[in-house]
A and B are shown apart, each in its own frame.
Chain A
């Protein structure tokens, strides 16, 4: 006989407390419009509303390891269509952030990309487009990094030729020190910050 899955409200509570926009899932009425609106819906393992339902059920591991929460392209279609005004995108971002914080790297490239992206913001205050991919590629290891770099070399060169890649060295914004203080504070105050 198929085994019953036990309801365990503690994960929902964990999400409400630690995940940005986590509490919004309470309003979901399972209409499914979010999944239907998503450009990458065919690549998801669980539709968003099912993720929400799984949170209610308490399926912690499945949710935090779900591919779906890492696939958001930030197009906002789900948010604008949700009849219950749930910012589905924000919930997915919050879950992605929370999962990565717990050390779950279901989509390693995205996690690396996100981390490097943010590191650069923190370091410089801005994004240096030539530097970011390099860091992302090499975050996966040296050999992988070389391979990826070669794969994208043609594109980089083209951009360079068409004056769309600056070769100037990295430049910090003037107020970088004060920005970092602000971000440090936000990191502490905000939700989703709790590491496992």
Chain B
């Protein structure tokens, strides 16, 4: 587009008091050759906005640079339509509110901010949404036909969308179908599972296509464009879907590993799953001889909350044992049930069912089983009774039920090993290495994604392919694929239903956004996407390896094959690329590089160091804003450059900045590690990894490594910002000015 640029300087909110506006205007019109530059005391007011609108109409202005408040505010006021480029230059929070007024350094800071803004506006193009050649599908594939899967399919259909449900067994239902009864809202009595009704409503729904005895052989493509191969009893079908819900459920923890609790040794020691199946089958009887059951002991947390088995809590087992104790009582009112527990975990309204179980006369013993044995054909259990401080023995037991936990269906029995590239550290004789849980090669087969980064969803600790986000629980690391139900965390049936409904919502939403070229979370609505200048590609594979979402495939020669609908628009690929061939219309290596170069670097003898801070715009940038709002003060020598994600950091900027005389570089990114907060999962971690490789550059330039530092900043760390900056400035002062100034 032919740009007609105008700069508008707001002098309100103390900006006019802090800065000399005329020199800035001169800078814009003379040095930066912006044809139009105006100031206004209250730009976000009606009159100010009208001034801009008038210029748009009368002068044909289409690129608007606003020097004033942060881009985080007045976003709606300064929205002039999708065909206008608006660039916000921060004169308020980061200048007028955090710097001494009318000082030369403050003035220089504002001028640099304007220079960067103009440079950026100059490089910005209006993004055009990605439009695939094929037709987008809004159908939803649901993998797994248990309660979660059936619910997801049904809720999808109820919203008017088409669902395809794939179940590997020969009937729908999953564990729900194997249950006798459920314990659910309002947790007063047991309720029927209604599994048959649910199965019927799923199979009879015209908007749901059910494939039983089927597996997903292949999923290729991306959101809106997934092509799915389903194998059913030897037949293959291909479907086109827009998004995927994985609801492959769970398996019980392997009780064979619980020999110390008598499993495998005594026939009458069973798991809660076996107990449920027995109950659903009609009668609970002693497996050893089929005789009637009177006394039953339930061992809670059998293998759960145990570092040697499942360290986590499966959250449903307390209720399940109480439910099964109810079955036993119903079958024989004279029976006595013992429940040996660590903590009774009946959260929310389900506490009512705990009360019911107590009222029914079940005996709860807080403590751990120390021995399970047999005497005279009946079982006994010895335990430490914590509440009596005694060792107790419960005899004459007909059955012992082990309340085993849930293992996500994704979790492999053994950590898979794959062929590593030659000379990989830690590889075995065959050249194989263990796969990390967050790799796409870790999880058990369910989706068979044709993705360069592996066929399955990356998982977290314990093999759950869950999100690590509290605020965004459905996000997996594969765009358009959402998990639901117990595969992502252990949950009771009531929650499974809610969870599956939510996952269906996300899947539907993904198809809708994709169809109009918009990104999904976390840059929902973003129309830009990365474009690859393939002529200069060196097949280094960094982009295909580093994309946190596995968006980029590879051809056999190692050329990247981008899938724009899988892209979350973080720019990690852009940062990874040593050849700088990946660019967005409004975000590129060149753009940021030129912004850095736009900064005016004073001569060494002026003793005015220059430091750039590359700031993650999700958390760190708002924190800097907050520091300004709090009127905290910091050095006037720093220049902030917001980034979509620090994972977009390209080392060329560091090299260019330092060789251009910039004295130091700070990176403000999110916390990474186990409790990472990066919205793009790996971004800030990648930035730090890349930074570790910068020493080469620094060595080449004979510069001190302390000139470049990475700092983790949370959004509420605003009070720490002045100190971080001050300390860095001290470091810079210690190492002295960059010798490359003026080159």
Contact = CB atoms under 8 A, between A and B. Distances in A.
A57 B392 contact: yes
Contact of B359 (A12, A26, A50, A53): A26
B349 to A, nearest CB: 16
Interface string A135-166: 00000000000000000000000000000000
Interface string B347-371: 0000000110011010110100000
Contacts of B344: 29
Given A29-B358, A30-B387, A53-B388, A4 B363 contact: no
Contact of B363 (A2, A29, A56): A56
B435 interface: no
- Size band of the B side of the interface? 20 to 34
A4 B361 contact: no
Interface in B312-362: 336, 338, 344, 354-355, 358-359, 361
A7 B338 contact: yes
B329 to A, nearest CB: 13
Contact of A5 (B355, B359, B363, B393): B393
B387 A7 contact: no
B391 A5 contact: yes
A2 B392 CA distance: 10
A28 B338 CA distance: 15
Contact of A26 (B358, B387, B393, B394): B358
Contacts of A28: 358
B395 interface: yes
A30 B385 CA distance: 12
Given A4-B382, A54-B388, A57-B392, A9 B363 contact: yes
B390 interface: yes
Nearest to B344: A29
A9 B358 contact: no
Contacts of B355: 27, 84
A50 B391 contact: no
Contacts of B394: 6-7
A188 interface: no
Contacts of B391: 2-5
Interface in A13-62: 26-30, 49-50, 53-54, 56-57
A39 B732 CA distance: 68
Contacts of B361: 26
Interface SS majority for chain B? strand
Contact of B395 (A6, A29, A49): A6
A49 B364 CA distance: 13
Interface in B383-436: 385, 387-388, 390-395
A26 B336 CA distance: 13
Nearest to B395: A6
Contacts of A54: 388
Contact of B336 (A3, A9, A30): A9
A7 B388 contact: no
A174 B514 CA distance: 93
A50 B388 contact: yes
A5 B390 contact: yes
A162 to B, nearest CB: 50
A53 B395 contact: no
B390 A7 contact: no
A59 B663 CA distance: 80
Contacts of A9: 336, 363
Interface residues of A, number: 20
A57 B340 CA distance: 13
A9 B338 CA distance: 10
Contact of A53 (B338, B354, B358, B387): B387
A4 B387 contact: no
Nearest to A25: B358
A5 B338 CA distance: 15
B397 to A, nearest CB: 10
Nearest to A6: B393
A4 B358 contact: no
Contacts of A53: 385, 387-388
Nearest to A27: B358
Contacts of B359: 26-27
A193 to B, nearest CB: 23
A54 B387 CA distance: 10
A30 B363 CA distance: 12
Contacts of B385: 5, 53, 57
A4 B393 contact: yes
B366 A4 contact: no
A153 B387 CA distance: 46
B395 A7 contact: yes
Interface in B424-483: none
Contact of A7 (B354, B364, B366, B393): B393
B390 to A, nearest CB: 5
A49 B366 CA distance: 13
B388 A57 contact: yes
Nearest to A30: B387
A58 to B, nearest CB: 10
A30 B395 contact: no
B311 to A, nearest CB: 26
A111 to B, nearest CB: 27
A9 B363 CA distance: 9
A49 B386 CA distance: 13
Contacts of A57: 385, 388, 390, 392
B700 to A, nearest CB: 68
A2 B370 CA distance: 13
A29 B344 CA distance: 9
A7 B358 contact: no
Contacts of B364: 29
Nearest to A49: B387
A5 B388 CA distance: 10
A29 B363 CA distance: 10
A85 B344 CA distance: 19
Contacts of A84: 355
Contacts of A50: 387-388
A101 B46 CA distance: 91
A54 B392 CA distance: 11
A55 to B, nearest CB: 10
B119 to A, nearest CB: 66
A54 to B, nearest CB: 7
A56 B364 CA distance: 9
Nearest to B354: A29
B167 to A, nearest CB: 41
Contacts of B338: 7
Nearest to A16: B361
A107 to B, nearest CB: 23
Q: Which of A3, A6, A7, A12 lies at the interface centre, i.e. has the most chain B CB atoms within 10 A of its CB?
A: A7
Q: Which of A2, A5, A28, A50 lies at the interface centre, i.e. has the most chain B CB atoms within 10 A of its CB?
A: A5
B387 A6 contact: no
A49 B387 CA distance: 9
B334 to A, nearest CB: 10
Contacts of B392: 4-7, 57
Contacts of A2: 390-391
A6 to B, nearest CB: 5
Contacts of A49: 387
Nearest to B357: A26
Contacts of A30: 366, 387
Nearest to B297: A7
B680 to A, nearest CB: 46
A45 to B, nearest CB: 13
B295 to A, nearest CB: 8
B271 to A, nearest CB: 23
Contacts of B336: 9
Q: Which 10 A-B pairs have the closest CB atoms?
A: A4-B393, A7-B394, A4-B391, A6-B393, A9-B336, A5-B392, A30-B387, A27-B358, A56-B363, A5-B390
Given A7-B395, A54-B388, A57-B392, 12 more contacts: A2-B390, A4-B392, A4-B393, A27-B355, A27-B359, A29-B344, A29-B354, A29-B364, A50-B387, A50-B388, A53-B387, A56-B363
9 contacts: A2-B390, A4-B391, A4-B393, A5-B390, A7-B395, A26-B361, A27-B358, A29-B358, A30-B387
